[in-house]
Amino acid sequence: MYDKMYGACLQGIDGTIVDVEVDISNGLPHFQIVGLPDSSVKESTERVRSALKNSGAAFPMERITINLAPADVRKEGASFDLAIAVGILCASGQLQLPGLDRCLTIGELSLDGRLRPVRGVLSMVDAAKRRGMTNVLLPSANVEEATLIEGMRIAGIDSITQLLARKDNPLFDGIPVSRGLQNERMPSNVEDVDTEDFVDVCGQFQAKRALTIAAAGLHNLIFIGPPGSGKTMLIRRLPSILPVLSDDESLEVTKIYSAAGLIPDRSKLIRRRPFRNPHHTVSMGGLVGAGSYPKPGEVSLAHRGVLFLDELPEFPRSVLEVLRQPIEDRRVTIGRAKAVITFPTHFMLAASMNPCPCGYWGFPTLTASCTCTPMKVRQYRSKISGPLLDRIDLHVEVPRIDFDSMKQTSGNAASRDLRQSVLQALNRQSARYAGTPIRFNGELNGRMLREHCRLPPEGEKLLSESFEALGLSVRAHDRILKIARTIADLDDSDGIGTSHLAEALQYRCLDRSL
Ligand SMILES: Nc1ncnc2c1ncn2[C@@H]1O[C@H](COP(=O)(O)OP(=O)(O)O)[C@@H](O)[C@H]1O
Ligand SMILES: [Mg+2]
């Protein structure tokens, strides 16, 4: 007796449909799974055996062979349990449910036959849709997440007993087709912000301006300044001015969190840009993704959002060096014995650092000044290598504010106002890049960069002079142009003017001092 079901597994953050073939033939009782299963899949035999027995079904005392195809895809996780169990029930004639053929079946079983939710459902259901399937059977706890994919009929069950009780009632009758994203009210913006507001930050106009530019064009940024100047405080307020995710971005981000098993609310797509703030003791694996079947690391969890590395020089140099590929290629490829996996890593890097180990180099106060030797200062700074710094668009000095500005609380720009200008600049970018894969100025490259960042003649002259005077690299040159483009967008200007370029040049202070 033979039956075939469809299961799914994750490869990176994408789902892959796996055929689950069940064959029951005469012979000594034996239960085995073939087709490159991982040990977690092999353990399925024990769970399925107990679950069926404890649900009142008969476990066939014959030779049962499960084949997972295609055989060249490594299968991992407990998500095949349900497909295997239902396959056995069908092949042994204990279950006949119309609608089970061409149905994606996923779910982990507990020994008593109840179903546990699995991670990565969003990607798996999406894969089923792309294969032309319309029916999905999964644990009730995963239903809401699955309905985020449009055009599917999704049946949720709690246990095998519940499935057996349906006898031969059609499983999918009366289940409406999911409406996907239309179900959701797309927020025009994050008005319901619960994050901290820029209104609490006194003074620091240049730092706020730099954060506005960074948010508008999704540019990488680094703050440098003495301890207590408010660097951490400022960057923590960045989420309050970021634009919400577009529909496509939202789906991408939610898939990553689903694959990592970190979805905050299963019934909703993630709409706000992620803000990740790993501590400097983070391991290389934690940062880029780890495991024999790698799960997304911090750089992927920050996809389409912000990766905040506070006190950058405190991170081990080796950890900082691995950031270069994700920043440049916007994805990270992790090779393991069992799988090679690529995760998207399109984030905006926000970092902070002190100017030297004691923190006062270049920013002396009346009572404290730098006690570090030039050698120590150089050592400290060399941790952040030139190539990494080159990839950061905005370098901004954040001095400590004086007493008067601290007392002056009126006139502090609020997040609401800053966000307004960010959105205005975003609208300009959307119009300009319509029909291209690009959304933000920070993504401009090569030909598109030259096309969209033309300078007036005086601008060219200013740039060439600064290029020589500051000893800028080619990469820094491109970054200055991108920043100038965003500044012009914030100014609601079609072309880049000399004043925009002049402001952009201010944000390369570390090129000079390092
Ligand atoms: N511009 C400012 N406006 C209001 N409070 C500030 C400002 N700068 C610093 N502070 C206060 O100082 C504290 C320390 O700031 P923090 O962001 O931790 O500094 P840093 O990260 O630069 O060492 C903040 O929590 C805040 O209370
Ligand atoms: Mg700090």
Would you state the pLDDT for residue 172?
79
DSSP secondary structure string for all residues of 191-250: -S--S--GGGS-S-HHHHHHHHHHHHHT--EEEE--TTSSHHHHHHTGGGGSPPPPHHHH
Give how far Cα 373 sits from Cα of 245, 360, 361, 432, Å. 46, 12, 10, 50
End-to-end CA distance of the chain: 73
Which ligand does the CA of 198 lie closest to? Answer: 1
**Is 2-182 a domain of CATH 3.40.190.10?**
no
Task: Tell me the three-class secondary structure of 45-60, residue by residue.
Answer: HHHHHHHHHHCCCCCC
Residue nearest to atom 16 of ligand 1 (CA): 230
How much distance in Å is there from the Cα of 314 to the middle of ligand 2? 12
Q: Global pTM? A: 0.86
By DSSP bridging, strand 30-34 and strand 63-69 are: parallel
Distance (Å, whole) CA 95 – CA 100: 10
CATH fold label, 198-399+416-513: Rossmann fold (3.40.50)
| CA 310 to ligand 1: nearest atom | 21
How much distance in Å is there from the Cα of 476 to the middle of ligand 2? 26
Which ligand does the CA of 406 lie closest to? Answer: 1
How much distance in Å is there from the Cα of 206 to the middle of ligand 2? 18
The predicted model gives 28-53 an average pLDDT of 90
Greater model confidence, 78 or 180:
78
To test ligand 1's pocket by mutation, which of 204, 211, 233, 238 has the most ligand atoms within 8 angstroms of CB? 233
Distance (Å, whole) CA 99 – CA 82: 16
DSSP secondary structure string for all residues of 89-105: HHHTTS---TT-TTEEE
Greater model confidence, 270 or 366:
270
How much distance in Å is there from the Cα of 234 to the middle of ligand 1? 8
**What's the token pair of residue 498?**
């000399």
Pocket of ligand 1 (CB under 6 A): 201-204, 225, 227-233, 401
Distance (Å, whole) CA 205 – CA 423: 19
User: Chain-wide mean pLDDT for the chain?
Assistant: 87
Q: Is the pLDDT of residue 185 over 80?
A: no
Residue nearest to atom 25 of ligand 1 (CA): 233
Residue nearest to atom 11 of ligand 1 (CA): 230
Which ligand does the CA of 311 lie closest to? Answer: 2
The predicted model gives 215-237 an average pLDDT of 93
How much distance in Å is there from the Cα of 298 to the middle of ligand 2? 20
| Residue spans per domain, the chain | 2-182, 198-399+416-513
Each residue's pLDDT tens digit, 327-383: 988 888 887 766 778 899 999 999 999 988 888 777 777 677 788 888 888 888 887
Each residue's pLDDT tens digit, 306-322: 999 999 998 988 888 88
How much distance in Å is there from the Cα of 303 to the middle of ligand 1? 27
Each residue's pLDDT tens digit, 470-486: 777 787 888 999 999 99
Distance (Å, whole) CA 173 – CA 99: 9
Residue nearest to atom 4 of ligand 1 (CA): 201
Q: Is the peptide bond before 70 cis (omega within 30 degrees of 0)?
A: yes
Report angle CA 93, 94, 99 to the nearest 5 degrees: 85
How much distance in Å is there from the Cα of 311 to the middle of ligand 2? 7
- Looking at residue 35, the DSSP 8-state letter turns out to be S
